[in-house]
Structure formats: C-alpha cells, structure tokens
Amino acid sequence: MKNLMISAATAESENPLAPNWWEVLVVACGFAVLMFIVVKFVVPMFEKTYAERTEAIEGGIAKAEKAQAEATAALSEYKQQLTDARAEANRIREEARAEGARILADLKDKAAAESARITEQAQVAIAAERQAAVVSLRAEVGSLATTLAGRIVGESLNDDERSTRVVDRFLADLEDQGTSKQNAGALQ
C-alpha cells in the first residue's frame, strides 16, 4: 500500500498552485450568481434604507428648523406681550396714583371746608352764648347793683325805668374804662 500512495502522489505531481479550470468555472458561475443576487436584491434594499434614512434625517432637520422658527416667533410674540403688559401695568399704576392723589386732595379740601364750617358754627355759637351771657349778666348785675345802691343810699330804687338807666350808665362807664385800658396796653 505504500507503493500505491507513492505512485498516486507522483502521478499527480502537477502544480498545486495552479487551479483546475473546471473548479475555476464553477466558482466563477457561483460568484456571478451571488453577485447577481446581491446587485439585484440586497443593494436596492440598502439603497432604499439609505434613502429613507437620508429623507428622515433631512425631514427631521427641516422640522427642527421649522420648530426653531416657530419657537423664535413665539418667543418674540411673548416678549412683545410681556412688554405690552408691563406698559399697561405701569399705565394703570400711574392712573391709580393720580386717582389716589386726586381723592386725597378732594378729601383734604372737604376736610378743610368741614373744619371751616365747624369753626364758623362754633364762633357763631360762642358769639351767641357770649351775647346771652352779657345780657344775663347785665340783668343780674343791674339787679344786684340796684339792690346794693339802694342799701348804700338808703332809698329804694324799685322804679324799673330808673334802675335800668342807672345800670346801663354804670355798665357803659365800665366798658369805656376797659376799652381805654386795652388801648393803652396795646400802645405800649
């Protein structure tokens, strides 16, 4: 058997690096079929997937740009609304201050008028009470003076007309003396 192997090995002593032409033909046909399948079916699927991805990315970029533009527009609109709202708030605040100042001025005017009215009424009441007190005191002083004068002089002054004249003259003299003293004090 050894001999048989040696003889088989020597019989096939062709170049091991040179392929058999039938094997090359079968491998080439298989490669061609495989290339046909890859080119016909696999590459179009990859191209389709690539195109879809590219479209999705570009669409996403477009959507993002559109959303960015909308956000920028909304932001500027909100800023404008905020500016308008602040201006309106300032206007309302200033109107309220002016209204408050006007109300305060009205209340001060009313209070001053009421104070003047009350003061005037008080002065009128004081003058009326003073006049009533003067009249009452004159009557009392007159009757006391008449009684006192009657006791001092020793004669009765029961005549009303006479006693009234005496009292009026006495009070007029007192008023003249008080007025002259006030004028003398004012001159000094």
**Cα 152 versus chain centre, distance:** 88
pLDDT tens digits, residue range 169-183?
A: 777 887 787 777 666
Dist. CA 170–CA 173, nearest whole Å: 5
Q: How confident is the model at residue 8 (pLDDT cuts 50, 70, 90)?
A: low
User: Into how many domains does the chain fold?
Assistant: 1
pTM of the model: 0.38
Burial (Cβ within 10 Å: 0-12, 13-18, ≥19) of residue 138: middle
Question: Given this model, what pLDDT does residue 5 score?
Answer: 58
Query: 36 lies in a domain?
Result: no
Which domain range does residue 77 map to?
41-180
**31 inside domain:** no
Is residue 175 in some structural domain? yes
104-133 pLDDT per residue, tens: 999 999 999 999 999 999 999 999 998 888
In a domain? residue 62? yes
